[in-house]
Structure 1
Amino acid sequence: MDIEMTPAEKIKLNQLYNASLMKFDHATCEAVAVSQSIGTQMAEAHIGHSTYIFARLCNHAISMISGVPRSRWVRADFEQWDFGSAAGHSRAILEGYLLFIYIVETPSSQEEWSTKINVMFLNDCVRRIKMMTNIGAAADFDGMEQQAEELRGRLNSNPWFQALSSQVKKRCLSGDNLMIPSRDEMLARAGWDKETFYAYWDLLSQYAHVLPISFFRMEPNGRGTGLENDTDKGYLATMLDMCADTLVSATDLMTEAFPDTATARQGLKSKFDPGPRSNRPIPPQTKRKKRR
């Protein structure tokens, strides 16, 4: 059983959760406002593709903050204190950030960019073929196998790709690789400690799926039941804080790419739609016609 907290420790944990929720709310507001402020702009290909990944990070952040207790984003007459409500979205934000910094990075050459995007296209193509095959809809991916071979041909004729190790090339050509670097290499680029990341990753995976850690230590009226409890509250506070830092880093990179969006970062007062009423843009007021 978990060690029971003292009243003072419970108060401190409660304050920690509230502060983490506010921090994540702040980060989500600014990220969404920046994403919506980009609009239609001319940009380099790698920047353009990164905006799509950034938008997905924002969507996961919105879903996460809409599902955690005490959020101002939703109205509810109860609180669901279940870490599972945030685990999947937290994991998506963390892994999505690694993909984001991989794509937003300025390539050294056109050959490098061509390799990166074609590896990703091939991964997508192969996954779609497998998915359609598994559900018995082989006719729906007609032409995808030919597209996969065309992508392999582009990679094999690319000098930058040919300079990679044989093992990396093999995995890329099979469609297994989404990114050319390994996850550990991307963690180093992100400045994240590998051991810490995998500790959180394993915990999040247990709750994103229904695995033993998520239910073996459930307690009556407590941990794992959805009722307010110290364990789930602590896990939620930790991931709200970590994901807030991740969103801020992604938003910083996005505003570097689109400097004119920096003014959209107004903290909890950022404007975007849909969202909480206080964050919606104020429609322009029409002037009343003066009576003669």
Structure 2
Amino acid sequence: MNEHAVTDETEEDVPSPKATTHEEYRAALKAFDACVCEAFAIGQAIGSRIAPPHLGYGTHVFTRICANAVALVRAAPKSRWVRSDADFWDLATVAGHARSLMEGLLLLHYVIKAPVDQDEWSARINLMHLNDCCRRAKILEAISTEEQIKSFEDTAEELRGRLKANAYFMRIDHRLRERLLRGDALTIPTRNELLNELEIEKKSFYMVWNLLSQYAHVLPMSFYRIEPNGRGSGLENDTDRSYIRLALEVGTYYLTAAVDLIVEAFPDSTHARKGIDSKFYPGPARNSPRDRRRRRT
């Protein structure tokens, strides 16, 4: 058996998306576009206010979610958000952004949820600080001086000390505490536990998340079935149109859920939620508030 035969057999186990017509693709794009408009309008409606810490941090997470949403809608072929002489039809253009929306919703849910007391919030936020510190140290290790590395280590130890002095954190199972103190984890609950809280079916989540990961990176599944002037070429074709539609539908689901969480936290922002007619700036001219339009003219 040659290597190509093994490759072909392996790929048969990977489900292909349902064939997507041009009309179905445009409907998926319009639905996601409307969701992005609502997210931006809601985000601007809740600006410049005093809020409890968990809500304040939640708005920062939501800002990053919105950034990925805009990147996705601008990358999607036929988007009204950009003008282009040629569209590029490849899942790689949107896969990473769609995957980020999936991850972003889990983090937003975790951060924005009201803590039972100050100890819980302190444990959650200091664990996030520890994870961030350890990640920065690892990323910058190759270019950092000994003094800078020592500073990261000192900060990490200070954060571990805060966690060890926290009553909520010390009630956690000791095996989990030891893992969290290494700084590798961003959240106290696991991803599966967060999925359960959000009532998201794990099998479907991981299937889509793993599929998008193949195209966010250069992995075999992203290039084994490249076809001249077809799949994987950047030209419009049934397969890539279907995959990009899937990414848009995933984006719509997770972004809508994120907007729901923000609106629940800030109920007075509901008025800004008007679908594709939502008003915000900057963005497409259709969505600019009237005073912004007057300034342009």
- Calculate the TM-score normalised by the size of structure 1: 0.91
User: Contact conserved, 1:111 with 1:158, CA < 8 A, in 2?
Assistant: yes
Letter in 2 for 1:230: D
| Structure 2: gaps (5+ residues) | 1-7, 13-17
Question: Partners of 2:142 and 2:165 in 1: how far apart?
Answer: 32
Equivalent position to 1:127, from 131, 135, 140: 135
**Contact kept in structure 2, 1:255 and 1:261, CA below 8 Å:** yes
CA-to-aligned-CA distance 1:96-146 (integer Å, 9 cap, x gap): 110000111111111111110000000001111111113345544552221
* Aligned-partner residue type, residue 139 of structure 2: M
Q: Runs of 4 or more off by more than 6 Å in structure 1?
A: none
Report the identity percentage.
Answer: 45
The 8 Å contact of residues 128 and 141 in structure 1, kept in 2 or not, is answered as no
Out of 186, 194, 209, which is 1:186 matched to?
Answer: 194
Q: C-alpha displacement at 1:248, in angstroms?
A: 1.1
Distance apart, 1:168 and its partner CA: 1.3
SS of the equivalent of 2:290 reads coil
Task: Tell me the equivalent position of 1:155.
Answer: 163
2:227 — aligned with what?
A: 219
Q: CA–CA distance in 2 between the matches of 1:175 and 1:168?
A: 12
Residue identity matched to 1:83:
L
Read off the aligned partner of 1:107 and give its amino acid letter.
P
Choose which of 187, 196, 199 in structure 1 pairs with 2:207.
Answer: 199
Distance in 1 between residues matched to 2:139 and 2:23, nearest whole Å = 45
SS in 2 for 1:192: coil
Q: Distance in 1 between matches of 2:147 and 2:181?
A: 23
**1:207-264 Cα deviation digits (max 9, x unpaired):** 0000000001101111111000111111111121121121111111111211221111
Deviations 1:25-45 (A, max 9, x none): 000000011111111111111
Alpha carbon RMSD of aligned pairs, Å? Answer: 1.9
What is the DSSP-based 3-state SS (H/G/I as helix, E as strand, rest coil) of the residue aligned with 2:114? coil
1:95 counterpart = 2:79: no
The amino acid that maps onto 1:41 is: R
223-232 or 143-152, which deviates more? 143-152
Correspondence for 2:15: none
What letter corresponds to residue 176 of structure 2 in structure 1? V
* Runs (5+) with no aligned partner, structure 1: 4-8, 287-292
TM-score (norm 2): 0.90
C-alpha distance after superposition, 1:31-62 (max 9, x if no partner): 01111111111111101100000010000000
1:284 CA displacement? 7.3
Deviates more, 1:271-280 or 1:205-214: 271-280
